[in-house]
Amino acid sequence: MARAALSADAEVLPEADRLDGFAHPRETGAVIGHGEAERIFADALASKRMHHAWLITGAAGIGKATLAYRFARAALAREGERDLFGDALDVAIDSTAYRQVTALSHPGLLVIRRGYDAKAKRFAQSIAVDDVRRLKSFLAMSAEEGGRRVIIVDSADELNMNAANALLKSLEEPPSRTVFLIVSSAPGRLLATIRSRCRMLPLSPLSADDLRRAVQTALTAANKAEPSPEVWADMERISGGSVRRALTLADTGGFTLQARIDKLLASLPKLDMAAAHGLGDELQGAANDAKFVLFGGLLADTLARLIRAEATGQGSAADVSLAHRLIGPARLATFAELWETLARERAEAMQLNLDRKSLILTSLMRLESASRTPS
């Protein structure tokens, strides 16, 4: 009862992984576009040789956490709670397992994620070692009626070093009938020893049709209007197959932000510093978290798209033209390395709560410098 009460109390607090105005991944019953991954999980659940740790990877916002919670419901459901007439991972919506996992009150479920400091009114910048140490008391309890226990780490990209090492220790000595579901958008940055102890389950970005279905479902559930038909094509192009990105674009003026990024890149090799400073000022402060994260993702995706256009000649006519002017064959390696650098610096800025305007200006000036490198 204590665990359930604590979970219920925590539920009223903000959640770092919740997109404002939309359902949380654990509140979403269906997973769209990842049928093969569902089948793999279902087969493992039906077998007697379930791997103890799964690393669910893929771009941000494509359904990794939704899949993890869907599997958790199926793994924790009692006999008779599974929907025998639906898909293999379906659990009856009125079942105890479904309700408890949705409320984070199931005694067999532990979720490790960034916490919220109600007094300071802000999220922790990383998952700390104390968050992972909760595993010790959780695993010391007997599983309910001989059932399974499920630990979801969402996301492992936010573990600090001490927390990562603490998680590794539990992965090295896995208790029986315990499954770790580790969510990551950047598995290459995790400890190699964590990766080696997990079964990899990579998810791909959603197709255009699946993206539209998922976005329509989320907007309907949130009582929000769908974008106009002429907006859909831009949403599909910019979102990169990410439902979260598409919803953020639709809900926070993301198309305007993309247009500003495009204009700044078009100004290179002479950066429009006034526009860069204006953007940096606008994205400062905790109130602009969603837009800052969106900016970082849009800039990274736009740069990746230009690099790909220069390397392959494929893409829109505008992308190919801009890529050839800014990058060209001689700068291709420089821009590819810069993409990695910007991704790393963005992750560090988020984890360490560094000055956002400084990061934005530094990133744009790095692009300016790269575009001026002699070809």
The per-residue DSSP string of 321-334 comes to: HHHHHHTHHHHHHH
Chain mean position to CA 121: 22
* Fold that domain 2-202 belongs to in CATH: Rossmann fold (3.40.50)
User: What is the predicted pLDDT for the residue at 12?
Assistant: 63
- Phi/psi at 222 (nearest 5 deg)? -95, 5
Instruction: Quote the DSSP letter at residue 164.
Output: H
- Distance, C-alpha 14 to centroid of its chain: 17
Q: Which pLDDT score is estimated for 238?
A: 84
Q: What Rg do the C-alpha atoms of the chain give, in angstroms?
A: 22
The pLDDT, as a whole number, for residue 85 is 52
- What is the b/e burial string over 241-275, where b = at least 16 CB atoms within 10 angstroms of the residue's CB? bbbbbbbbbbbbebeebbebbeebbebbeebbeee
d(C-alpha 135, C-alpha 146), whole Å: 18
In angstroms, how far is CA 330 from the centroid of its own chain? 34
Three-state secondary structure call for residue 199: strand
Q: What DSSP line would sit under 273-312, residue for residue? A: HHHHHHHHHHT-SGGGHHHHHHHHHHHHHHHHHHHHHHHH
d(CA 204, CA 354): 31
Contact between 184 and 155 (Cβ < 8 Å): yes
Query: How far apart are the C-alpha atoms of 154 and 149, rounded to whole Å?
Result: 16
Torsion sign, CA atoms 352, 356, 362, 367 = positive
Query: How remote is the C-alpha of 183 from its chain's centroid?
Result: 8
Q: Where are the domains of the chain?
A: 2-202, 252-372
Bridge partners of 159, per DSSP, are 127
pLDDT score for 64: 98
Q: Where are the beta strands (DSSP E) in the chain?
A: 53-57, 109-112, 116-117, 122-123, 149-154, 178-184, 199-202
Q: How far is CA 158 from CA 18, 56, 371, in A?
A: 15, 15, 32
Task: Give the phi and the psi of residue 154 in degrees, each rounded to 5.
Answer: -140, 100
The sheet with strand 178-184 has its strands ordered as: 109-112, 149-154, 178-184, 53-57, 199-202
- pLDDT of the chain, 375 residues: tens digit per residue: 334 434 434 446 788 888 888 999 999 989 999 999 999 999 998 887 899 999 999 988 999 999 999 999 999 998 778 765 556 799 989 999 999 999 999 999 999 999 888 887 888 888 999 999 999 999 888 666 567 899 999 999 999 999 999 999 999 988 889 999 999 998 998 999 999 999 999 999 999 999 999 999 999 999 998 888 878 888 888 888 999 989 988 876 788 899 999 999 999 999 999 999 999 999 987 768 778 888 998 899 899 989 999 999 987 888 899 999 999 999 999 999 999 999 888 878 776 777 889 999 999 999 999 999 876
Q: Which phi and psi angles does 201 have, rounded to 5°?
A: -135, 85
- List, in order, residues 6 or more apart from 16 with CB less than 8 Å away: 113, 114, 116, 123
Q: Name the pTM for this structure.
A: 0.83
8-15 long-range Cβ contacts below 8 angstroms, 24+ apart: 8/103, 8/104, 8/105, 10/104, 11/103, 11/104, 13/116, 13/118, 14/116, 14/123, 15/113, 15/116
